[in-house]
Amino acid sequence: MPPAPPAPCPGCGALFPPSDGPTHRYIGASAGCWALFAPRSVGEAPDPALLAASRVPEAPSAARPAPFPPAPALATLVADAYAAQHHGDDSPPAVQSVAVHLLVLHGVARRGVAPARAQWVRTRALRTRGVFAKLAPPPVGAALTLRHLYPGGGVTTPAAPADYAASVLAAWEGAHAATLRAWYDRHVVAD
């Protein structure tokens, strides 16, 4: 039997071989996509076989990533971008996760928070539970994916980590820029 064709990750649209490997409890990534992220999050190189068997969404069948303003300060915030992009379901942990990770990206990219102080934004945003609402996610394909950081699989020039994070933030800002500003003022800045 030929191997099953790659399937799109519900969060980012990148295509990975079907897998019954582990996934995150509320970050909405396919097992294949999570297998690309999890080693990276602990500083390890991705599995070459996984890279060889996976690819980015194909245009024009998938929406192309929209243009985005570069935000070099986001280079160390790939995990925040990944968590925001893989928004998951409507459960309170998923809703809160998306909000907090977007506020971290917003704080560093738009409010001048130093990347080294990103944890301050996370802590502030988590002071009161249950204050964030579900945001309708941008369409799958509207942003770069983690797979765009690695060559092959439709990627000629790998994207910079900062560009991946900037692309994810910009995709969410498409419909929610005002909400992110308001949430940041109310739940991160204000006392």
Query: Applying CB under 5 A, which residues contact Zn ion?
Result: 9, 11-12, 29, 33
49 CB-near residues (< 8 Å, 6+ apart): none
Instruction: Tell how many helices (H) and how many strands (E) occur in the chain.
Output: 6, 2
- Give the residue with the Cβ less far from Zn ion, 29 or 171: 29
**Closest CB 17 distance from Zn ion, rounded Å:** 13
Please identify, using beta-carbon distances, which residue of 12 and 81 lies nearer to Zn ion.
12
Q: With respect to Zn ion, which residue has the nearer C-beta, 73 or 169?
A: 169
Specify the 3-state DSSP secondary structure of 95: helix
Q: Tell me how far apart the alpha carbons of residues 88 and 172 are, in angstroms, rounded to a whole number.
A: 14
Q: How far is the CB of 29 from Zn ion (least distance, A)?
A: 5
Containing 8, the helix (H) or strand (E) segment is: strand 7-8
Nearer to Zn ion, 11 or 65 (CB): 11
